[in-house]
Amino acid sequence: MGLRERLGRLFGKPARGSTTLAADRTRANEMHGRETTQTRYEQDGTRQRMEAELDGQRTQRAAPAPGAAAVCAHTVLVARWDTPADLGHEERASGYTCEACHQTFTAAEGTALRQSEAERVRQQLTP
């Protein structure tokens, strides 16, 4: 008896594409829990973040919503680069964009925000 048939019997329905999908989802969830090595999913995420950042640079002139900066903690800062050759090198970032409110910051402002963010997280972790 093959795996598909056994899975089909286990779930009480004929083995079709759904069982394969379920198995894939289970595997994905297992992979998601591992943090010791960078998984294929994390690498995809990094690449997608960079592509999204390049898209963001094209629409950068759009003004942030009024009042958004006042309530946003700017915890998800995405670096931007002037040239593709600099992509991925944080020290060469020309500035940062908040993913939540899309407000842009200079490299210095982004660094300061990231440092204070780490401080805020530390304070939350140590009561």
Looking at residue 56, its amino acid is G
Nearer to Zn ion, 50 or 72 (CB): 72
Please report how close the Cβ of residue 71 comes to Zn ion at its closest, in angstroms: 9
Size of the site for Zn ion (CB under 5 A): 5
Please report how close the Cβ of residue 72 comes to Zn ion at its closest, in angstroms: 3
Residues between 53 and 82 with contacts to Zn ion, criterion CB under 5 A = 72, 74
**What is the Cα–Cα distance from 76 to 6, expressed in whole angstroms?**
45
74, exposed or middle or buried, with CB in 10 Å at 0-12, 13-18, 19+? buried
Reduce the DSSP state of residue 96 to 3 states and report it.
strand
Structural tokens at position 31? 């992979």
Q: Is 98 in the site for Zn ion (CB under 5 A)?
A: yes
Please report how close the Cβ of residue 105 comes to Zn ion at its closest, in angstroms: 9
Q: Is 101 in the site for Zn ion (CB under 5 A)?
A: yes
